[in-house]
């Protein structure tokens, strides 16, 4: 059926996402454009729009991959990590390191605002939820006297916190320089929070 298809639709999507990721890594979100991606994969703009709804759609898929990698790192860190609070600290460290080492892709996940009519698909929301689930799981052993809801609440508060430090620090708004200082801040937050959370 297919005509002049050097690549299938799926291959094209794959190529486009990969090329776009490269551009984001090198030039940041600002440097990304439909024409650049098209050129990079040896096609023209029009083709890109046969395979993606629009740029937001492409970005969504890049972000999905970033979240997958982030989740893999976080998950991996939980396999061998000592006691419960060590595990949560690990989780924080991994999060910060990831953001520091791949700032452009990380930033795009959390800073890109999709146009209002663009609905965030469920499968994407689940990738975010999965991250919080890891935190929740890490909190469980420390929360014998807490309800399920309290644990959920705590995981959101704690991870919101880690995320906030990460964002402010990378934007240079925390008056700290270097990853190590950010790691220290995260440790401060998690440690103190856990102390309060457990000593009820």
Partner DNA sequence: TTATTAAATGAACGCTGTTCAATTAAGAGT
Partner DNA sequence: ACTCTTAATTGAACAGCGTTCATTTAATAA
Residue 44 touches DNA, criterion: CB under 7 A:
yes
Q: Which two tokens stand for residue 84?
A: 């419960």
Cα atoms in the 13 Å half-sphere on the side-chain side of 135: 25
Q: Which residues contact 163 (CB under 8 A, 6 or more apart)?
A: 95, 110
Q: Kindly give the residue spans of alpha helices, DSSP state H, lying in 28-102.
A: 34-40, 45-51, 55-77, 84-101
| CB closer to its own copies, 24 vs 38 | 24
Residue 12 touches DNA, criterion: CB under 7 A:
yes
Residue 189 touches its own copies, criterion: CB under 8 A:
yes
Q: Is 180 left (phi over 0), alpha (psi -120 to 50) or beta?
A: alpha
Residue 27 touches DNA, criterion: CB under 7 A:
no
Residue 7 touches DNA, criterion: CB under 7 A:
yes
Residue 176 touches its own copies, criterion: CB under 8 A:
yes
Distance separating the N- and C-terminal Cα atoms of the chain: 67
Stretch that binds DNA, among 41-49, 119-127, 131-139, 167-175 (CB under 7 A): 41-49
Stretch that binds its own copies, among 38-46, 80-88, 138-146, 190-198 (CB under 8 A): 190-198
Stretch that binds DNA, among 51-59, 72-80, 170-178, 187-195 (CB under 7 A): 51-59
- Whether residue 59 contacts residue 112, with contact meaning beta carbons closer than 8 Å, is answered with yes
Residues that bind its own copies (CB under 8 A): 28-30, 107, 110-111, 113, 115, 120, 128-129, 132, 153-154, 156-169, 171-176, 184-186, 188-189, 191-197, 199
């Amino acid at each position: 059926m297919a005509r002049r298809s050097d690549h299938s639709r799926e291959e094209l999507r794959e190529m486009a996402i990969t090329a776009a990721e490269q551009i984001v890594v090198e030039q940041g979100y600002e440097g990304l454009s439909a024409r650049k991606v098209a050129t990079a994969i040896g096609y023209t703009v029009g083709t890109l729009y046969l395979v993606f709804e629009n740029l937001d759609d492409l970005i969504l898929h890049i972000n999905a991959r970033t979240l997958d990698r982030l989740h893999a790192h976080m998950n991996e860190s939980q396999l061998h990590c000592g006691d419960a609070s060590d595990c949560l600290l690990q989780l924080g460290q991994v999060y910060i390191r990831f953001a520091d080492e791949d700032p452009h892709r990380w930033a795009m996940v959390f800073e890109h605002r999709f146009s209002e009519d663009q609905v965030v698909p469920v499968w994407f929301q689940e990738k975010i939820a999965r991250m919080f689930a890891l935190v929740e799981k890490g909190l469980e052993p420390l929360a014998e006297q807490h309800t399920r809801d309290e644990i959920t609440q705590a995981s959101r508060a704690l991870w919101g916190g880690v995320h906030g430090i990460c964002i402010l620090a990378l934007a240079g708004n925390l008056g700290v320089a270097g990853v190590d200082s950010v790691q220290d801040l995260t440790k401060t937050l998690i440690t103190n929070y856990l102390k309060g959370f457990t000593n009820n």
